[in-house]
Amino acid sequence: MSLKTSVFGAALVIAASVWGAQAEPLSLTSAGSFLVSPFNQILRDPAGSEAPAAAQLRRQVVEYPSREALGTIIVDTAHTYLYFVLGGGKALRYGIGVGREGFTWSGVETISRMAEWPDWNPPREMIGRQPYLPRFMAGGPGNPLGARALYLGDTNYRIHGTNDPTTIGHRVSSGCIRLTNDDIADLYRRAKVGSKVVVLAGGRDADSAAPVIRRSASRQRMSAIIIPR
Report, as residue numbers or ranges, the catalytic residues. 160, 176
Contacts of 93 (CB under 8 A, 6+ apart): 59, 60, 61, 62, 64, 81, 82, 83, 84
Residues 200 and 109 sit within 8 Å (Cβ to Cβ): no
Strand pairing of 81-87 and 73-76?
A: antiparallel
Residues 206 and 104 sit within 8 Å (Cβ to Cβ): yes
- Cα–Cα distances (Å) from 172 to 102, 103, 165, in that order, read 11, 9, 12
Closest to 211 in 3D by CA, of 137, 157, 134:
157
Provide the total of helices (H) and of strands (E) in the chain, helices listed first. 4, 13
Residues 169 and 95 sit within 8 Å (Cβ to Cβ): yes
